[in-house]
Structure 1
Amino acid sequence: MSVIYIVLTVSVIVGVGFFIVFLMAVKSGQYDDSYTPSVRILFEDELVKEKSKQSIKSKTD
């Protein structure tokens, strides 16, 4: 039973450690994306307009 307490304690410490490292990475700007916004305009997708019910009915009638 004491092994469970040791494993639980170690896993909580490791989890808190990874969380602290993650917060440090976010604060340092590691996950900021500075490349995609500059090239997003080059890959702009065309908007697909939905067909209205009248145009569908007129084509089938």
Structure 2
Amino acid sequence: MTSLLYLIPAMLLLGGLGLAGFLWALKSGQYDDMEGNASRILYDDDDKPLPPEDKI
């Protein structure tokens, strides 16, 4: 029963840290563009020149 005296404040502290981290991520814009980075990998980079064939 005495372990609850340690576990409840520790749980509240860790929950507060998690909430603070989540609110910081919201404030800094981490969740602004959810689709941009996920679909950016599918784009083809055709504007980069190909290396010369004699150096391959």
TM-score (normalised: structure 1):
0.53
- Could you list the per-position Cα deviations for residues 16-60 of structure 1 after superposition, in whole angstroms to 9, with x for gaps in the alignment? 000000000000000111728xxxxxxxxxxxxxxxxxxxxxxxx
Alignment RMSD (CA, Å): 1.7
Unaligned runs of 5+ in 2: 38-56
Structure possessing the higher radius of gyration over alpha carbons: 1
Identity of aligned residues (%): 33
Q: Which has the larger share of helix?
A: 1
Q: What is the distance in 1 between the residues matched to 2:23 and 2:36?
A: 22
Equivalent position of 2:53 in the other structure: none
Equivalent position of 2:24 in the other structure: 24
Q: What is the distance in 2 between the residues matched to 1:35 and 1:7?
A: 41
| Equivalent position SS for 1:18 | helix
| Equivalent position SS for 1:32 | coil
Unaligned runs of 5+ in 1: 37-61
